[in-house]
Amino acid sequence: MDPLLLFVGLLLACLNRTGAQSGVCCGMSGDNLPTPQEVVDLYKSQNISRMRLFGPNQAILQALQDTDIELVLDILEYDLEGIASNDMSIVIDWVNTNIIAYYPSVRFRYIVVGNEVNPLSNSNAQFVLPAMQNIYYTLASQGLEKQIKVSTIVSAQILGTTNPPSNGSFRDDARSYINPIIDFLVQKGSPLLANVYPYFSYSADQEGISLSYALFKSQSVVVQDGKHGYRNLFDSMVDALYSALEKLGASTVEIVVSESGWPTQGGSGASTENSGTYNSNLIQHVKGGTPKRPGKAIETYVFNIFDENSYNHFWGLYLPNKQPKYAFNFSSAPTIRTPTESQKPYCHGYYITVHQPYPL
């Protein structure tokens, strides 16, 4: 079997079998993408049971009705100021238009208030927490605060120290921003969403970070941190965030990886092979947690379902014509055998027949 076919076969099988934890981001910034109904049909046909949408899209929301797909819905950054204001009619209108009009036919999971709004350089950061609070209390007025969680997304930029992971902490100059947000998440029982991209760290420091460490392929410990050994950069980045939360007394806050992926072209280290390796290994790996939290599956969203020509993004699992980029026919699932066979790799209780070994 061609290794590229194996990569996507593993990815498809794991997405199908680990739907409780894994999803795919749905960026729609392109003028050559399938229709919203075709997009949702693709998710359904591949049993991808979670979607992240980067802003309200009424056509996709309509197509998601009466499906089993759970949705993470972002609030667009230019809407933050209005939603954060004292004019509650703005918040109520947004919630009624984008949530109540579709609930419960659409299975909303999280409402994300701000995607990587940088408190060090973006004036909209001041609106994130008030907007989170307004959305939460508007949902609560409808009795939906437990069914639909409210959160925000951070990036690694908000961390001051990340290596080793146990030293992870939020930047001192970001504390006035992040501390109240973390307090809100603790009080409301919501997770913290984070975009985690080993690719960017690797591409910026290829002398200091090996490709195998970034692609989950290291066979031995690369970073030893006390009793914890790290064989991949993804775990190190996630555990640095957990360490930062623990230092704020927020160890109960779960981390959801709202984006992670690897491009097929457009940057150093970008290739179809590396993208297939990273994404298939990612979906397998997150079922087992991190060294700091072993056995605790990490809810993770792969970026992205399609290439987007508006941004020259080449991160998609599919081309805009819905063809899989890794030369795999998604209508033909790989052979799944019962767990009684001692074959590897292992994916959520199922063994995938591998005809050509490849280090994972």
pLDDT of residue 347 exceeding 50: no
User: Quick check: 43 pLDDT over 90?
Assistant: yes
Q: Report the mean per-residue pLDDT for the chain.
A: 87
Cβ–Cβ < 8 Å for 230, 223: yes
**259 an active-site residue?**
yes
Q: Does some domain include residue 222?
A: yes
Please report, as a single letter, which amino acid is at residue 351: Y
Q: Do residues 4 and 326 touch, judged by C-beta distance below 8 A?
A: yes
**Residue range 289-310: mean pLDDT, rounded:** 96
Q: What is the pLDDT of residues 126-137, one digit of tens each?
A: 999 999 999 999
CATH number at residue 331: 3.20.20.80
Instruction: Tell whether 205 is covered by a domain.
Output: yes
Q: What local confidence, expressed as pLDDT, does residue 47 receive?
A: 85
Confidence band of 11 (pLDDT split at 50, 70, 90) = low
> Residue 64 carries which DSSP code?
H
* Catalytic pick among 70, 116, 145, 299: 116
Residue 360 lies in a domain: no
Does residue 116 carry a catalytic annotation? yes
In the chain, helix, strand, coil percent, each to 5?
40, 20, 45
In a domain, 358, yes or no: no
Mean pLDDT of 37-66: 96
Owning domain of residue 137? 3-352
Asked if pLDDT for residue 357 goes beyond 90, the answer is no
For every residue of 305-347, DSSP letters joined together read: SB-BTTTTB---SB-TTS-BTTS--TTSPPPEE-TTS--SSEE
Q: Which of 70, 145, 259, 308 is catalytic?
A: 259
Average pLDDT (302-324) is 93
How confident is the model over 185-196, as a mean pLDDT?
98
- Residue 357 belongs to a domain: no
pLDDT, one tens digit per residue, over 256-283 is 999 999 999 999 999 999 999 999 999 9
**Domains held by the chain: number:** 1
Residues 6+ apart with CB under 8 A from 113: 75, 80, 83, 128, 131, 132, 135, 150, 151, 152
| pTM score of the predicted model | 0.86
12 pLDDT more than 90: no
